[in-house]
Structure 1
Amino acid sequence: MNKIIFFAQIRELIDTESITLNANQETVCSLLDQLSQRGEKWALALKENVVLCAVNQILVDGDYLIQDGDEIAFFPPVTGG
């Protein structure tokens, strides 16, 4: 099983802090596609926005292969000035 955590605007849009599901052997992109099918708010938060992903607190790209027990975090890019 995998814990999936959402931050900032993503969390606000989907009104969910975290979920647990089996994403073992999925890529980050396929997980995003799967989550985006949960409804309009999910699709808006995860597909139309630029989303960064960290697995076990390390930034990864969309081709990263998720393993059982990995903690996945989705968050928007941070900007500053």
Structure 2
Amino acid sequence: MVKVKFFAALRERLQCAELDIDSQPSDSVAEIRHRLLQQHPSWRRELLDNDVLCAKNFTFVDLQAAVNPGDELAFFPPVTGG
């Protein structure tokens, strides 16, 4: 099981703060995202946005990063500042 969290405007658009999803030891972030889209097809636009960032256990990762059961993934829009 992997805990998936959504932050900021992404959380608001998906109307979901967090959920748990089954995982296999050989999964990647892309595979977890694919599984999320299978369960929630209406999230396609938001999760496939090239600007959406992902962190695994509080460290930025790309879509090829390995995900292990017990990890925490966080998806969020790009950080902006002023």
TM-score interval for Structure 1 and Structure 2 normalised by the shorter chain: 0.7 to 0.9
Whole-Å Cα distance in 2 between the matches of residues 34 and 7 of structure 1? 19
- Structure 1 window deviating more from structure 2 (27-36 vs 12-21): it is 27-36
Whole-Å Cα distance in 1 between the matches of residues 61 and 50 of structure 2? 17
Whole-Å Cα distance in 1 between the matches of residues 9 and 45 of structure 2? 11
- Please state how far the C-alpha of 1:58 moved relative to its aligned partner: 0.8
Q: Write the deviation string for residues 10-46 of structure 1: whole angstroms up to 9, x where unpaired.
A: 1111100000111232111122222123122x11210
Q: Which runs of 5+ in 1 are unaligned?
A: none
Task: Determine the structure 1 residue equivalent to 2:60.
Answer: 59
* RMSD (CA atoms): 1.4
Q: Which runs of 5+ in 2 are unaligned?
A: none
Task: Determine the structure 2 residue equivalent to 1:17.
Answer: 17
